[in-house]
Chain A
Amino acid sequence: MTETLLETRELKKYFPVTKGLIFSRVVAWIRAVDGVDIRIGNGETLGLVGESGCGKTTIAKLIMLIEKPTSGTVFFRGRDVYSLDSQQLKEYRRSIQIVNQDPFSSMNPRLRVNSIISEPLSVVGFQHDKQITRDRIAEVLEQVKLPQGSTSMYPHEFSGGQRQRIAVARALAPSPQCIVLDEPVSALDVSIRAQVMNLLLELQEQLGHSYLLIAHDLAVVKYMSRYVGVMYLGKIVELAESIELYTHPMHPYTRALLNAVLPSHPDIVWAGGKLSGEVPSPINPPSGCRFHPRCSRAEPGCAEMEPALVPVSGNHWVACCRS
């Protein structure tokens, strides 16, 4: 394990459910993220998988300081990011960048590519020197393999894959130490996905930044990450090194997810579809272990005690009473 770059401790985010238009009052809380501890090492990739509504994107928003947590903190190089002064906050915002899912809606259609890429640079203080800014834009465009002539074009002139490259270039521009990838390829065409994934991996090799990869596709996460965390209803249920997790899944939910992946060849007998029911609402999550109503191995005790994420071997952590 390398030195820790980013760490969350007991991170929680509850969103209020309100009733009434004028005298609105809170009637319930959506527990989007409910006590999550993750750590990302220097130059490493942590993948987060889970179904929609499990809180993956909320974690990204908390780390990006788009949302404030209900409780818990994020540490960046050992410092609590919620208590940074304005100068340090600027530096933090530079060090951490995001690539969003949909390259069609994540860019201002009225800006040219050079303005899109130079916008984060202005935060770092490049804006005073036009030549340095121009050089930096040329450099990142080369890194993402886009032609230099694209600087004066608008986003709509590019295809989906090229647009996602612009988004990567924008994230790279201020030389971040960590890039949050929120479903970076799921909006792209199948034949384009490999281009973008390989590009992201090559960039990491060259530049040594870390990734927090958020995706629902288990194969994408396996291909890109060193560590993988599986989320269910706002909690991490299993966390392990990628190879370990995919060869020895311990949590029943992880197993169910892996079983649900479609076969890669018609001869493979598919065990899928074993998991019944749907993800319950995060407003009133089930008591005890949140997975117990759908779990095939549930016991009466599972409804009472909430299992903690405990290490079972080396770097393999599981939150299940039965493992």
Chain B
Amino acid sequence: MLEVRNLKTYFFTRHGVVKAVDGINFRVGDGENLGLVGESGCGKSVTALSILRLVPSPPGRILEGEILLDGEDILKKSEAMMRKIRGVKISIILQDPLTSLNPAYTIGDQIGEAVEIHQHLRGKLVFRKVVEVLKLVRVPEPEVRAGDYPHQMSGGMRQRVAGAIALSCQPRLLIADEPTTSLDVTIQAQYLDLLKQIQEQSGISIVFVTHDFGIVARMCDHVAVMYAGKIVEFSRVKEIFDNPCHPYTTALLKCLPRLDIASKLVTIEGDVPDLSTLPPGCSFAPRCANRKPICDEKYPEEVMINKNHRVNCWLWSPQ
């Protein structure tokens, strides 16, 4: 349904070119969930914005690549056409609902705006639709809460409203950019349950942009691990937990404390690299425990471990 081919989004700044997304490939099937996992600055949010063509320009620019939605390249569409895709076919939930919602309008107005523009509803029909989507995301007393301002709601409720706006026009693809990072654990659990239920009813695909492997384990079918603008490993979810191939994935899975295992944490030495001054070879090489001489020279080619599992690492390279 969605296919991203060799996407490159660079930012041209005074301090040099930042290769935020540097030639990534992935696809999302109908009703499937993809997890884009990585640390801050690895390009996962820019990937999400690129799919919606919302990268701030300047300084950002999508240099090359294709983003195919149902076979059509949306990078070739005009801005007017794009407006008909955003919100209708693809929509997004951002990390912090307090900054993504307008504090000066009631939530009913904000959900209504999307409905008016895309579904051309007017008057009472708008309000009826607003109540309907608020019911969908299980906001209690939707008729009353539609008149609330964002500050009158709790964090969990606000995030539901952001979800309601995104889902109001029945999109086929939802991009959830760190949807639960600002929520408490019990509220996060409720929210993920809700997304799962909505997905079962409507069959939409969701791309989860996250740094949390727990969300991936719970919600996703496929996972793409990103590091410094590139996808370093892509596979089915179960496989990445059972048989992680890239040293970064392996370390990332072991460096977080878990409730079921009490062993000492593995540390990844060094820091997240600066995207404007990347080394010529593999970007993870300076922090990698299995580094070889070739890692510093050339970026590794993609290696297929099996049909659904690919990795970019010299360890797996046949050479």
Contacts and interface: CB of A to CB of B under 8 A. Distances in A.
A binds B: yes
Interface of A: 51-52, 159, 161-162, 189-195, 197-198, 216-220, 222-223, 246, 256-268, 270, 272-276, 278-279
B259 A246 contact: yes
The listed residue with most B CB atoms (<10 A of its CB), out of A257, A265, A266, A273, is A266
26 contacts: A51-B186, A162-B271, A189-B39, A190-B211, A192-B271, A195-B268, A218-B259, A220-B257, A223-B262, A246-B259, A256-B186, A258-B259, A259-B189, A260-B189, A262-B188, A262-B212, A262-B215, A262-B217, A264-B217, A264-B261, A266-B241, A267-B238, A270-B218, A273-B189, A278-B156, A278-B157
Given A162-B271, A190-B211, A198-B264, A264 B258 contact: yes
**Interface residues of B toward A: which range?**
35 or more
Contacts of A258: 259
B150 to A, nearest CB: 16
B226 to A, nearest CB: 12
Interface in B252-295: 252, 255-262, 264-269, 271-272, 287
B256 A190 contact: yes
Nearest 5 CB-CB pairings of A with B: A262-B214, A273-B193, A223-B257, A260-B189, A272-B189
A263 B218 contact: yes
A222 B261 CA distance: 10
Contact of A264 (B186, B214, B255, B287): B214
Interface in B21-56: 39-40
Nearest to A259: B189
B15 to A, nearest CB: 14
Given A266-B217, A273-B193, A275-B189, A193 B256 contact: yes
B265 A264 contact: no
B259 A222 contact: yes
A190 B252 CA distance: 8
Contacts of A159: 271-272
A191 B156 contact: no
Contacts of A246: 259
B190 interface: yes
Interface in B185-239: 185-190, 192-193, 211-218, 237-238
Contacts of A272: 189, 192-193, 218
A216 B259 contact: no
Interface string B109-145: 0000000000000000000000000000000000000
A279 B252 CA distance: 32
Contacts of A265: 217, 241
Nearest to B261: A264
A195 B184 contact: no
Contacts of A190: 39, 211, 252, 255-256
Contact of B259 (A162, A261, A266, A279): A261
B304 interface: no
A265 B218 CA distance: 8
A198 B255 CA distance: 10
Interface in B139-186: 154-157, 184-186
Contacts of A259: 189
A279 B155 CA distance: 11
B74 interface: no
Contact of B251 (A191, A263, A274): A191
Nearest to B138: A276
A198 B237 CA distance: 29
A190 B40 CA distance: 9
Contacts of A216: 184-185
A34 B281 CA distance: 57
Given A222-B259, A258-B259, A263 B214 contact: yes
A159 B287 CA distance: 15
Contacts of B193: 272-273
Contacts of A217: 257
Contacts of A220: 257
A52 B262 CA distance: 26
B175 to A, nearest CB: 20
Given A194-B266, A265-B241, A218 B185 contact: yes
